[in-house]
Structure 1
Amino acid sequence: MRRSLSLAVLVAGLLTVGAVSAAQPAAVPDDLGQRLVTTYAAPATQRLDADARALAQALASLCKEPAAKEAEAVESRFRSVVLAWSGVEFLRFGPLVEGNRYERIAFWPDPRGVMSRQVQGLLADPAVTALDAQALSARSVAQQGLPALEFVLYRDGGVLDAARQGRAEAPDCAYAQAAAGALALQTGALAQAWSAQGEYARRFSRPAADNPLYRTPREVAAEAIKALSTGLQFARDVKLVPALAEPYQDSRARRAPYWRSDLTAPALAASVESMLRFHDAAGWALPADEAWRVEGLRRELVQLRDVLSSLKAPVGDLLQDPEGRRQLTLATLLLKNAKDLLDQDLAPQLGVTIGFNALDGD
Structure 2
Amino acid sequence: MRIPILALALLLGWPAFAGAELALPGNTAVRAWQEAAAAFDQAGSAVCPEPAGPADPAAVERAREAFRDLVLRWQAARAWLVGPAVPADLASRVWFWPDPHGSAGRQIVRSLSSGKPEGIAASGLGMAEEVLFSATDELGQGGCRLLRAVGDAQAELAGAVAAEFTATRISDNDRRRLLLISMRDSLDRISQEKIARSLGLDIDTARGQRAEAWRSGLSLPAIQASLAAVKAVYLASDGVAARLAAQDDGPALDTMIRAQFERTQAALAAVDLPLDQAVSDPADRPKVEALLKEVQQLRLLVVERLAPAIGISLGFNALDGD
The interval holding the TM-score normalised by the smaller chain is 0.7 to 0.9
Q: Cα offset for 1:246?
A: 3.3
User: Which residue matches 2:97?
Assistant: 108
Matched residue SS, 2:207: helix
Tell whether the 8 Å contact from 1:225 to 1:347 is kept in structure 2 after alignment: yes
Match of 1:144 in 2: 123
Partner of 1:284: 242
Q: Contact 1:265/1:309 (CA < 8 Å) preserved in 2?
A: no
**RMSD of aligned Cα (Å):** 2.4
Task: Note closer, same or farther for the CA distance 1:249–1:63 as it changes in structure 2 (3 Å cut).
Answer: farther
Range moving further from structure 2, 180-189 or 314-323: 314-323
Aligned to 1:254: 209
Q: How far apart are the structure 2 equivalents of 1:112 and 1:144?
A: 18
Distance 1:358 1:250, change over 3 A: closer
User: Which structure's relative contact order is higher, taking Cα pairs within 8 Å and 6+ residues apart?
Assistant: 1
Q: Which runs of 4+ in 1 moved over 6 A?
A: none
Distance 2:305 2:203 in 1: 35
Which of the numbers 188, 192, 197 marks the counterpart of 1:233? 188
Which aligned pairs between 1:23-102 and structure 2 lie closer than 5 A? 34-38=20-24, 40-64=25-49, 66-91=55-80, 93-94=82-83, 97-98=86-87, 100-102=89-91
TM-score normalised to the size of structure 2? Answer: 0.84
Amino acid at match of 1:275: V
The offset of 1:344, in angstroms, is 1.5
Letter matched to residue 68 of structure 2: R
Cα distance, 1:322 vs structure 2: 2.8
Letter in 2 for 1:41: G
Q: Would the alpha carbon gap of residues 93 and 51 (structure 1) be closer, same or farther in structure 2, given more than 3 Å must change?
A: same
Per-residue CA deviation, residues 20-40 of structure 1 (Å, 9 max, x unaligned), is: xxxxxxxxxxxxx922311x2
Inter-partner Cα distance in structure 1 for 2:308 and 2:83:
23
How far has the Cα of 1:97 moved from its partner?
Answer: 4.2
Consecutive unaligned residues of structure 1, counting only runs of 5 or more, are: 1-32, 129-135, 163-167, 208-216
Quote the Cα distance in structure 1 between the aligned partners of 2:31 and 2:269: 24
State the alpha-carbon separation in 1 of the partners of residues 85 and 283 from structure 2: 37
Candidates 153, 173, 190, aligned match of 2:132: 153
The answer for the alignment partner of 1:3 in structure 2 is none
Equivalents in 1 of 2:109, 2:260: separation in Å? Answer: 42
Letter in 2 for 1:142: A
Give 2:153's match in structure 1, choosing from 182, 185, 193: 182
1:142-221 equivalence runs, <5 A: 142-157=121-136, 161-162=137-138, 168-195=139-166, 198=167, 200=168, 202=169, 204=170, 207=171, 217-221=172-176
1:36–1:278 contact (8 Å) kept in structure 2: no
Contact 2:94–2:154, Cα closer than 8 Å, also in 1 = yes
Task: Give the drift of 1:42.
Answer: 0.6
SS at match of 1:291: helix
Partner of 2:313, secondary structure, is strand
CA deviations over 1:222-273 (Å, ceiling 9, x no partner): 2111000111011101221121113435870121100111110011011101
Q: How does 1:209-358 map to 2 (within 5 A)?
A: 217-249=172-204, 252-281=207-236, 282=239, 283-285=241-243, 286-287=246-247, 289-311=249-271, 313-358=273-318
* SS class of match (1:352): coil
1:95·1:190 contact (CA, 8 Å) conserved in 2? Answer: no
Kept after mapping to 2: 8 A contact 1:55/1:81: yes
Deviates more, 1:348-357 or 1:184-193: 348-357
Q: Counterpart of 1:43 in structure 2: which amino acid?
A: T
Question: Can you list the C-alpha shifts for 1:279-331, whole angstroms capped at 9, x where unaligned?
Answer: 11124232354212223212212321233245453222212223321221111
Asked whether the 8 Å contact 1:145–1:183 carries over to 2, the reply is yes
Change over 3 Å in CA distance of 1:252–1:223 after alignment to 2? same
**Structure-2 separation of matches of 1:224 and 1:180:** 29
Q: CA-to-partner distance for each residue in 1:174-219, whole Å, 9 max, x for gaps?
A: 0111111101111112222233xx1x2x2x2xx2xxxxxxxxx443
Q: Deviations over 1:3-29 (max 9, x none)?
A: xxxxxxxxxxxxxxxxxxxxxxxxxxx
Name the aligned partner's letter for residue 253 of structure 1. G
Instruction: Assess, with a 3 A threshold, how the Cα gap between structure 1 residues 148 and 347 changes in structure 2: closer, same or farther.
Output: same
TM-score, L = length of structure 1: 0.75
Query: For structure 2, which runs of at least 5 residues remain unmatched after alignment?
Result: 1-18
SS of 1:320's equivalent in the other structure is coil
Instruction: Say whether the 8 Å CA contact 2:177–2:312 is kept in structure 1.
Output: yes
Q: Distance in 2 between matches of 1:150 and 1:144?
A: 11
Is the contact between residue 199 and residue 205 of structure 2 (CA under 8 Å) also seen in structure 1? no
Amino-acid identity (%): 26
